[in-house]
Structure 1
Amino acid sequence: MAYLVVKWLHVLSSTLLFGTGIGSAFYLLVASLHRDARVVAVVARYVVLADWLFTATTAVFQPLSGFWLVRWAGIPWRGGWVGWSVALYAVAIACWLPVVLLQMRMRGLAAHACAEAIPLPPAYWRAFRLWVALGVPAFLAFLAVFYLMVVKPPL
Structure 2
Amino acid sequence: MSYLLLKYLHIIAAVFLFGFGMGSYLYLIAANRSGDPRVIAAVARMVVRFDAWITTPAGVLQLLTGYAMVSMTGMPWSADWLRAALLIFFAVGALWLPVLLLQARMQRLAAQAAGNGTALGEDYQQMYRPWLWMGVAGFTGMFLIVLVMVTKQAPWQWL
TM-score, structure 1 normalization: 0.96
Structure 2 distance, partners of 1:153, 1:52, is 31
Structure 2 distance, partners of 1:35, 1:51, is 22
- The aligned length equals 155
- Corresponding residue number in structure 2 for 1:64: 64
- Corresponding residue number in structure 1 for 2:25: 25
> Which range is displaced more, 104-113 or 73-82?
73-82
Q: State the percentage of identical aligned residues.
A: 38
- Corresponding residue number in structure 2 for 1:131: 131
Alpha-carbon distance, 1:16 to partner: 0.2
Query: Unaligned regions of 5+ residues in structure 1, if any?
Result: none
Runs of 4+ in 1 over 6 A off after TM superposition: none
- Corresponding residue number in structure 2 for 1:5: 5
Post-superposition CA distance 1:13-37 (Å, at most 9, x none)? 1110111111100000111011110
Alpha-carbon distance, 1:95 to partner: 0.6
Query: Unaligned regions of 5+ residues in structure 2, if any?
Result: none
SS in 2 for 1:77: coil
Structure 2 distance, partners of 1:149, 1:137, is 18
1:110 aligns with 2:91: no
Alpha-carbon distance, 1:129 to partner: 0.5
- Corresponding residue number in structure 2 for 1:47: 47
Post-superposition CA distance 1:49-103 (Å, at most 9, x none)? 1001111111111111101101111211233111100000011010111000000
TM-score, structure 2 normalization: 0.93
> Which range is displaced more, 65-74 or 101-110?
65-74
What RMSD over aligned residues (CA atoms) do the two structures have, in Å? 1.2
Structure 1 distance, partners of 2:122, 2:14, is 35
